[in-house]
């Protein structure tokens, strides 16, 4: 089966999952003749949804056999063994998943087509649960204490609750992977599957568009009456900079900040570190690649490939260089970043408050500010009255965590690390009994883009706001797809309309 056929069936199966047709999705996945590691992973997840544990185990075996560094596949097979009450095998797979994390706090699989983050603290929690099922309560407690060193703000509660249960020698709930979240094929490749008519249709030569200076041969793009201009795309997604280099050897990443490349790829080197690692851009993604796997590409020779020096593909790749903590995929050294952070902090005594709402944002207030000033600052940011929001120190607004005028603010500010602190914001119930949980937008104009990060929609579609990229771009979800889009193409749905949905 060709790559194009595999890609097409993969996309069809994922589409079936989006519309809850799991049976058809599994049938399409199983009909793929040569599945890769990601497709085998998807098959295993669908078998788990059908509670066919034996079939799920075999699928995850194949996924790991194709990619022995796929930590999330070890995690899922470990959960399969756990459901089968094979706790020793479950423990071994969770240990393999933790080992594949290589000391990182998490792995974000978004770049590989899976909207999921595997946290080290969650893997350690499941390791502790497997030990508890085997009666090894002391080892379970050790793993949970170790998880405290890897936990993030969003994972505070589950680790603390599990630790409390372990101290009482009581079992706790495992962290499970959302099985309906699957690896999706590259949107750019899927877009290329569509047939294109390069000749187009006959067009009227004369244009009714005022001051139209078009003089090419391509058909004119339709004009939207009174439609907003498309804002400048975020540079972090569109930039193409650096020096071009050709990839000489296949490179398989071992950490989340490294980039997979194969011989013949053209990458753009942003920075070369002293440890022989280079920060590069490839296919609009940034990551680290060994510089000795690359060869500088002379643009003048690009049009004469036969005259350049060719590298035999049978050569063994050079030794993988050792990593030192100095170069990051963003192209800045960690030391420089830390120095900039210290310089910013030394300018004033402002504290950055990261607020988790239906979308995340940040405000700055003087360190030691009373609760009234903090709440007023956040309410203005959300354009809501101060009585309509509740701030808390944890994701759950409990009596102990809610910030009120009687809250001891000095102890809260002492918890700020590096003049930064994270709070949670909850919308209170309004007088009419409704509760603001999500922000919905309605499309004023259709938006279509071939960029894989963008969200396409039609006029009149309803979009759920996820976050604000900047003043011109938003991130949202529509019809099961997630991406960015121009803010000027949408408007917020009034609260009354949202409550009637």
Domain boundaries, the chain: 3-167, 236-307+321-331, 348-427, 440-499
Please tell me if the domain spanning 3-167 has the same topology as the one spanning 236-307+321-331. no
Q: How far apart are CA 288 and CA 291, in angstroms?
A: 9
Residues paired with residue 407 on neighbouring β-strands, in sequence order: none
Nearest to 47 by CA among 72, 83, 11: 83
Q: Which of 370, 435, 437, 438 shows the shortest CA–CA distance to 406?
A: 370
**What residues does 362 pair with on adjacent strands?**
354
Q: Which helix (H) or strand (E) holds 355?
A: strand 350-356
pLDDT value, residue 148: 83
Could you give the C-alpha distances from 244 to 21, 309, 359, in angstroms and in order? 45, 16, 37
In sequence order, what are the residues at sequence separation of 6 or more whose Cβ sits closer than 8 angstroms to the Cβ of residue 236?
A: none
Q: Which CATH class is domain 440-499?
A: mainly beta
CA separation for the pair 89, 53 (Å, rounded): 14
| pTM value surpassing 0.75 | no
What was the pLDDT predicted at 91? Answer: 94
Which residues in 442-475 are b (16+ Cβ under 10 Å) and which e?
bbbbebebebebbbbbeeebbbebbeeeeeebbb
List all residues 6 or more positions away from 247 whose beta carbon is below 8 Å from its beta carbon.
Answer: 261, 262, 263, 264, 265, 266, 267, 289, 293, 294
Let me know: does 252 contact 494? Beta carbons within 8 Å.
no
Q: In what order do the strands lie in the sheet with 389-392?
A: 360-366, 350-356, 420-427, 389-392
The predicted pLDDT at position 253 comes to 84
User: What's the CATH fold of domain 236-307+321-331?
Assistant: SH3 type barrels. (2.30.30)
Q: How far apart are CA 438 and CA 217, in angstroms?
A: 46
Q: For residue 279, what is the enclosing H or E element?
A: strand 277-282
Instruction: Select 348-427's CATH number: 1.20.1300.10, 3.40.640.10, 3.50.50.60, 3.10.20.90.
Output: 3.10.20.90
Taking the C-alpha atoms of residue 156 and residue 150, their distance in angstroms, rounded to an integer, is 10
Architecture of domain 3-167: Alpha Horseshoe (1.25)
Distance CA 238, CA 77 (A): 37
Question: Which stretches of the chain drop beneath a pLDDT of 50?
Answer: 204, 208-209, 214-221, 235-240, 300-314, 331, 333-347, 430-436
pLDDT on residue 46: 93
Find the angle CA(453)-CA(273)-CA(106) to the nearest 5 degrees.
Answer: 50
How many CB atoms lie under 10 A from the CB of residue 276? 18
């Amino acid at each position: 089966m060709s790559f194009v056929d595999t890609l097409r069936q993969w996309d069809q199966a994922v589409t079936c999952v989006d519309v809850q047709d799991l049976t058809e999705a599994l049938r399409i996945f199983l009909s793929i003749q040569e599945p890769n590691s990601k497709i085998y992973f998807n098959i295993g997840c669908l078998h788990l949804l059908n509670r066919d544990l034996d079939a799920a185990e075999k699928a995850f075996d194949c996924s790991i056999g194709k990619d022995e560094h796929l930590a999330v596949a070890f995690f899922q097979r470990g959960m399969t063994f756990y459901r089968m009450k094979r706790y020793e095998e479950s423990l071994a797979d969770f240990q393999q998943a933790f080992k594949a994390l290589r000391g990182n706090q998490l792995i974000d699989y978004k770049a590989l087509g899976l909207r999921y983050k595997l946290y080290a603290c969650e893997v350690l929690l499941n390791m502790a649960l497997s030990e508890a099922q085997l009666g090894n309560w002391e080892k379970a407690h050790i793993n949970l204490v170790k998880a405290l060193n890897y936990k993030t703000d969003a994972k505070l509660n589950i680790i603390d609750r599990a630790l409390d249960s372990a101290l009482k020698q009581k079992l706790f709930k495992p962290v499970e992977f959302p099985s309906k979240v699957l690896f999706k094929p590259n949107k750019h490749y899927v877009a290329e599957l569509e047939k294109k008519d390069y000749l187009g249709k006959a067009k009227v030569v004369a244009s009714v568009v005022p001051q139209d200076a078009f003089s090419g041969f391509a058909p004119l793009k339709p004009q939207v009456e009174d439609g907003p201009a498309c804002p400048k795309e975020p540079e972090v997604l569109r930039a193409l900079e650096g020096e071009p280099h050709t990839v000489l050897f296949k490179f398989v990443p071992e950490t989340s900040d490294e980039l997979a490349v194969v011989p013949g790829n053209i990458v753009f080197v942003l920075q070369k570190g002293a440890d022989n690692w280079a920060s590069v851009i490839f296919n609009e993604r940034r990551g680290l690649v060994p510089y000795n796997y690359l060869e500088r590409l002379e643009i003048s020779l690009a049009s004469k490939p036969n005259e350049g020096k060719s590298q035999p593909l049978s050569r063994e790749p050079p030794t993988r260089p050792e990593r030192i903590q100095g170069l990051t995929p963003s192209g800045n050294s960690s030391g420089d970043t830390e120095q900039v952070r210290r310089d910013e902090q030394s300018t004033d005594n402002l504290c950055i408050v990261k607020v988790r709402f239906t979308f995340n944002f940040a405000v700055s207030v003087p360190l030691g500010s009373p609760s009234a000033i903090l709440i007023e600052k956040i309410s203005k940011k959300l354009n809501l009255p101060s009585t309509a929001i509740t701030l808390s120190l944890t994701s759950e607004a409990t009596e102990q965590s809610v910030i009120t005028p009687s809250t001891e603010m000095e102890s809260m500010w002492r918890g700020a690390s590096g003049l930064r602190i994270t709070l949670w914001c909850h919308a209170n119930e309004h007088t009419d009994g409704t509760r603001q949980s999500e922000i919905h937008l309605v499309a004023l104009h259709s938006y279509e883009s071939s960029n894989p990060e963008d969200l396409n929609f039609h006029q009149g579609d309803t979009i759920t706001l996820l976050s604000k990229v900047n003043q011109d771009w938003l991130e949202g979800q529509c019809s099961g797809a997630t991406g960015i889009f121009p803010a000027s193409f949408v408007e917020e749905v009034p609260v009354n309309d949202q409550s009637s949905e």
